[in-house]
């Protein structure tokens, strides 16, 4: 009888904190996106022209990122990762474009990015971590102000604070596309 009671608890823990992959859409917020999550995607020509200089892709290169509806309007938005030339030990440049209006909404730096459940003007709050050294980095939070993403907080973390931060962030499911 004790075994039957244990199964629902194990199922909950696995669903909440276990490794997750998603073929059709992201996990429920919060969820993370990192360099390993970015795969080549089809990007509308208009968006490619808008972000071309920010991401440093050659015209013929496929752009990596994810197309996902972030604001609930039924149209995929584009979270795009820069070309490898802009990625380093601190992270990569990412650009977010609204799929409906084809406007650039924000530019972020770090690796990984986290989509929070909290929404401001319809879009999720986004946080990034950028690595500085073996035991330090910057954790930056961005919110949508109705026109663009702006930095709402930035803090340097080091030593045990980095360890505590990543202890928490490891519980956040990462976007993983199935092949």
Give this prediction's pTM.
0.81
Cα–Cα distance for residue pair 90/131, rounded to 1 Å: 4
Q: What pLDDT shows up at residue 65? A: 93
CA-nearest of 131, 121, 112, 175 to 152 is 121
Mean pLDDT for each consecutive 10-residue tract of the chain (179 residues)?
36 35 61 88 93 88 92 94 87 95 96 94 96 90 98 95 90 76
Q: What pLDDT shows up at residue 177? A: 66
Start-to-end Cα distance in the chain: 40
**Tokens coding 174:** 């990462």
Q: Where are the domains of the chain?
A: 21-169
Q: What pLDDT shows up at residue 34? A: 86
């Amino acid at each position: 009888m004790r075994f039957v009671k244990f199964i629902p608890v194990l199922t909950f823990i696995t669903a909440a904190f276990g490794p997750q992959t998603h073929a059709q859409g992201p996990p429920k917020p919060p969820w993370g996106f990192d360099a390993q999550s970015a795969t080549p995607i089809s990007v509308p020509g208009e968006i490619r022209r808008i972000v071309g200089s920010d991401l440093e892709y050659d015209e013929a290169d496929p752009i990596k990122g994810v197309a996902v509806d972030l604001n609930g309007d039924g149209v995929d938005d584009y979270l795009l990762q820069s070309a490898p030339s802009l990625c380093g030990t601190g992270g990569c440049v990412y650009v977010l474009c609204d799929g409906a209006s084809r406007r650039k909404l924000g530019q972020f730096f770090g690796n990984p990015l986290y989509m929070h459940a909290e929404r401001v003007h319809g879009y999720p709050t986004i946080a990034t971590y950028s690595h500085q050294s073996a035991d330090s980095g910057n954790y930056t939070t961005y919110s949508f102000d109705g026109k663009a993403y702006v930095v709402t907080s930035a803090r340097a973390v080091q030593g045990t604070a980095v360890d505590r931060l990543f202890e928490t962030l490891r519980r956040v499911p990462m976007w993983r596309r199935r092949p």
